Amino acid sequence: MARQIQFAQTGGPEVLEVADVTPRDPGPGEIRIANRAVGLNFIDIYIRSGLYPANLPSGLGTEGAGVVDAVGDGVDDFAEGDRVAYAQGPLGAYADFITMDAEKAIALPEAIDFETAAGGMLKGLTVQYLIRQTYAIGEGDTILFHAAAGGVGSIACQWAHALGAHVIGTVSNEDKASIAQRNGAWMTIDYTRESVPERVLELTDGAGVPVVYDSVGKDTWSDSLACLSKRGLMVSFGNASGPVEGVNLVELNKGGSLFVTRPSLGGYADTRERFEMMCDDFFAVLESGEVKINIGQRFGLEEAGKAQEALANRETTGSTILTL
């Protein structure tokens, strides 16, 4: 028997329960992974709350790292004992074991430990498509990144800095400002005390920024648009404050022929070839030391609800993981 976090109805953290389950044997093309660490992400909260639908009862979590425990027929790329990581597994990563399509796993370099992989895979691949594909930032670019001290933001500040960009990061207090600055942010804006658009325009001599990366959603939508330069790109990639609704295209015209995109990891890592390319890019900056994964919080598997509550209340910094 093994432990798995499950929920039979949507709601708050209290709906999460620890269940004893029998790990499923891998079928053709599948592997079973003995998790060593599991990553927490806002999408897990969206699924638990019902914002993103799931077939109930359901497991939770899609990201982790561990050791291959069993291999199904037709799997040639992995063997028992291999170190692996994954970011797009089936719901059920909050568990001692997970069985999944081998195509969704990636071999983990020896230089990268399990906690780093579990705390960084989904966030790191998210940053990869955001700053390397959705809008390929370069030397001298000035960008705005919301929640700059969070898990995704911490990686983005480091990686963008390594690429020569100037990151303006939004934060909620001085401690988070210090974290963002240590990670390479050029400037920070405390959105609880300052007007983000006004400060961005001050920092850019009235020009605005060519791209805004916004994982907050509803609460920051209008301010984010107001920070863009003409023909700027609004990258809305999360709903921490709720989904953006009632988008008025006239606003984009008035703002200066603005562009908007709502990307996702699944939309970019949609083939094995692209997934491997993105992992190679992310692993390279980890191994070079240009990007470090800050594990700000560790919780036991049974504390999954408590961990999600801290994440939802913006009480966390860096990445949050469940340890097994």
Sign of the dihedral defined by the CA atoms of residues 255, 257, 262, 264, in that order = negative
Task: Determine contact, residues 279/107, Cβ cutoff 8 Å.
Answer: no
Q: What is the pTM (predicted TM-score) of this model?
A: 0.91
Residues 274/276/281/283 CA torsion (nearest 10 deg): 150
- CA dist 15 and 7 (Å) reads 6
Task: Determine contact, residues 136/305, Cβ cutoff 8 Å.
Answer: no
- CA dist 31 and 11 (Å) reads 31
All structural domains of the chain, each given as residue ranges with its CATH number in brackets, are: 2-120+270-323 (3.90.180.10), 139-262 (3.40.50.720)
Q: How many CB atoms lie within 10 A of CB 82?
A: 17
In tens digits, the chain (324 residues) has pLDDT values of 899 999 999 999 999 999 999 999 999 999 999 999 999 988 899 899 998 899 999 999 999 999 999 999 999 999 999 999 999 989 999 999 999 999 999 999 999 999 999 999 999 999 999 999 999 999 999 999 999 998 899 999 999 999 999 999 999 999 999 999 999 999 999 999 999 999 999 999 999 999 999 999 888 999 999 999 999 999 999 877 787 888 899 999 999 999 999 999 999 999 999 999 999 999 999 999 999 998 989 999 999 999 999 988 878 877 899 999
SS3 for 118? Answer: helix
